[in-house]
């Protein structure tokens, strides 16, 4: 066991506040780190509806909320229907500063400050500027995890004064990015260690296609940059104990999955027919997730002998497109706009295949969850999907899904056809489902990698 104190700062932490996968990571990884002896203080803003300021989650894990009525008691975390809050720079710079000040006030001296994404990317900068003379943080090192390079925290240059930092930091070597403030860029430059959420995405981050203008900055930090694959909460996502699904099942006793499928079909107005494969899509309706590809393929897809269930919310234009798709194909599709955790569990358990046509995917949690329920991914070869989904056609011994390369509806349709062909072979499907359900994507392995990463930072 080790003795490391980690101040783990994130703008959202499940189950208390969530808009995406960042919250799932922040809610699960600290619990595994604590099992390895790390003393973790989780810090997030106290948003509207969060009923506590501090709370103990487990042995060695406590959560504290930074409070500010005007900044955080709002209807959304980052914005409202009309866009982001205009004072987000002020809100999250305050959050970062207070996280450090309150740790000091409580005598919690961190060995590691672990920041996540642009909302907390200011923390590594603060430790090496404003807080540098403070002996309390003399030995504190920083780790910055990049969950998605597409979101960088851009703000107008005239707001730089709100950060209360030396004006010289608004430069190419720190915050300046094409005439704007870029919080993530500065965090990448100042952090002691950097990582992202899968090995393949770490490689992609250094390319023009996936770097979103920061590929050169990332490449310059290559010596301290690593890809560590995300895990999932295997207690939450467990078909053996899941309270949200119609029948319980496991890799050794999979019969309950057929019952889940029958209930899914009936619940969503689809013909209960075990001979028809059910394809599913549970995700944000955003360009990154390949929804343009899915929408373009949908009519031809639904002309085949399949059923399709879609659950998601996001951009208004995609709400309209998928609502129209559902209206055109009422007999074999169900489109549910919005997000409901109960329905997500039902779909993961009852579907046969899980669609992930992502344009880019830093890690992806959907495929890891679908594996748990024997629902085979049909995924594009990018980011964490390449690290986790093995194409059955390319490797019959290890294959656990169906992978396609091109960013096109035609490529997705060909992969779906291969999945449909596999579905006709009942013995093959049983074998592939059992293989998928036996995969281990718990946080245990990844937590050990993070612990070693912390140790490297402390020694640096």
Per residue in 418-435, pLDDT (tens digit) is 999 999 999 999 999 999
- One domain for residues 300 and 431: yes
Q: Which two tokens stand for residue 400?
A: 């656990």
pLDDT at 20: 85
pLDDT higher than 60, residue 1: no
Q: Which two tokens stand for residue 73?
A: 């008691």
DSSP 139-179: T-EEEEEES-TT---EEEGGGGGGG---GGGSSTTTTEETT
pLDDT higher than 70, residue 360: yes
Establish if 237 belongs to a structural domain. Answer: no
Q: Which two tokens stand for residue 69?
A: 């009525």
pLDDT at 402: 98
75 burial (CB, 10 Å; 0-12 / 13-18 / 19+) is exposed
- One domain for residues 90 and 172: yes
Establish if 242 belongs to a structural domain. Answer: no
User: Coil, helix or strand for 406?
Assistant: coil
- One domain for residues 207 and 302: no
pLDDT higher than 70, residue 317: yes
- One domain for residues 56 and 148: yes
Proportion of the chain above pLDDT 70, given as a percent = 100
**Average pLDDT in the 314-332 region?**
95
**Average pLDDT in the 254-281 region?**
97
- One domain for residues 429 and 447: no
- One domain for residues 227 and 286: no
Establish if 218 belongs to a structural domain. Answer: yes
Establish if 412 belongs to a structural domain. Answer: yes
- One domain for residues 203 and 58: yes
Proportion of the chain above pLDDT 90, given as a percent = 96
- One domain for residues 288 and 208: no
Q: For residue 29, what is the domain's CATH number? A: 3.40.50.2000
**Average pLDDT in the 247-267 region?**
97
pLDDT at 319: 95
Contact 398, 264 (CB under 8 A): no
- One domain for residues 447 and 424: no
Establish if 119 belongs to a structural domain. Answer: yes
- One domain for residues 224 and 348: no
pLDDT higher than 80, residue 81: no
Establish if 123 belongs to a structural domain. Answer: yes
Residue whose pair of structure tokens reads 């899980």 in the numeric block: 354
Establish if 241 belongs to a structural domain. Answer: no
Per residue in 155-200, pLDDT (tens digit) is 999 999 999 999 999 999 999 999 999 999 999 999 999 999 999 9
pLDDT at 396: 94
Q: Which two tokens stand for residue 416?
A: 């779906």
pLDDT at 27: 95
Domain count, the chain: 2
Per residue in 191-226, pLDDT (tens digit) is 999 999 999 999 999 999 999 999 999 999 999 999
pLDDT at 80: 86
Establish if 413 belongs to a structural domain. Answer: yes
Cα–Cα dist 182/15, whole Å: 29
- One domain for residues 412 and 453: no
**Average pLDDT in the 148-158 region?**
97
Per residue in 23-72, pLDDT (tens digit) is 999 999 999 999 999 999 999 999 999 999 999 999 999 999 999 999 99
Contact 321, 328 (CB under 8 A): no
Q: What is the mean pLDDT of the chain?
A: 96
The domain in which residue 138 lies consists of 5-231+443-459
- One domain for residues 80 and 219: yes
């Amino acid at each position: 066991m080790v003795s490391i104190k980690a101040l783990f700062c994130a703008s959202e932490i499940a189950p208390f506040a969530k808009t995406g996968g960042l919250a799932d990571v922040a809610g699960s990884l600290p619990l595994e780190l604590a099992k390895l002896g790390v003393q973790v203080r989780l810090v997030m803003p106290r948003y509207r509806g969060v009923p506590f300021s501090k709370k103990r989650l487990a042995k060695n894990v406590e959560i504290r909320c930074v409070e500010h009525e005007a900044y955080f008691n709002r209807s959304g975390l980052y914005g409202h229907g009309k866009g982001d809050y205009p004072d987000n720079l002020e809100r999250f710079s305050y959050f970062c500063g207070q996280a450090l000040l309150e740790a000091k006030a409580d005598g919690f001296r961190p060995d590691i400050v672990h920041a996540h994404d642009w909302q907390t990317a200011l923390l590594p900068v603060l430790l090496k500027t404003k807080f540098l003379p403070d002996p309390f943080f003399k030995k504190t090192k920083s780790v910055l995890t990049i969950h998605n390079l597409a979101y960088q925290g851009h703000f107008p240059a005239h707001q730089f004064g709100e950060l209360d930092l030396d004006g010289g930091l608004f430069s190419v070597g720190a915050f300046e990015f094409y005439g704007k403030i870029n919080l993530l860029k500065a965090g990448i430059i100042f952090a002691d260690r950097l990582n992202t959420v899968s090995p393949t995405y770490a490689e992609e981050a250094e390319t023009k296609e996936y770097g979103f203008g920061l590929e050169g900055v990332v490449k310059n930090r290559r010596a301290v940059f690593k890809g560590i694959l995300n895990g999932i909460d295997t207690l939450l996502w467990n078909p053996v104990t899941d309270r949200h699904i119609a029948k319980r099942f496991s890799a050794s006793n999979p019969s309950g999955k057929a019952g889940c499928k029958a209930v899914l079909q009936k619940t969503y107005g689809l013909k209960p027919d075990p001979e028809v494969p059910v394809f599913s899509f549970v995700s944000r309706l955003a360009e990154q997730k390949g929804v343009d590809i899915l929408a373009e393929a949908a009519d031809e897809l639904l002309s085949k002998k399949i059923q399709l269930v879609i659950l998601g919310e996001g951009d208004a234009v995609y709400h309209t497109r998928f609502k129209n798709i559902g209206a055109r194909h009422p007999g074999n599709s169900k489109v549910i706009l919005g997000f409901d955790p109960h329905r997500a569990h039902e779909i993961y358990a009852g579907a046969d295949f899980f669609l992930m046509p992502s344009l880019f995917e830093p890690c992806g949690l959907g495929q890891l969850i679908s594996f748990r329920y024997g629902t085979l991914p049909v995924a594009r070869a990018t980011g964490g999907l390449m690290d986790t989904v093995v194409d059955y056609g390319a490797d019959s011994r290890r294959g656990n899904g169906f992978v396609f390369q091109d960013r096109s509806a035609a490529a997705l349709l060909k992969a779906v056809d291969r999945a449909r062909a596999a579905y006709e072979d009942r013995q093959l499907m049983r074998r592939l489902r059992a293989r998928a359900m036996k995969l281990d994507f718990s946080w245990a392995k990844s937590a050990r990698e993070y612990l070693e990463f912390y140790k490297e930072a402390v020694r640096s």
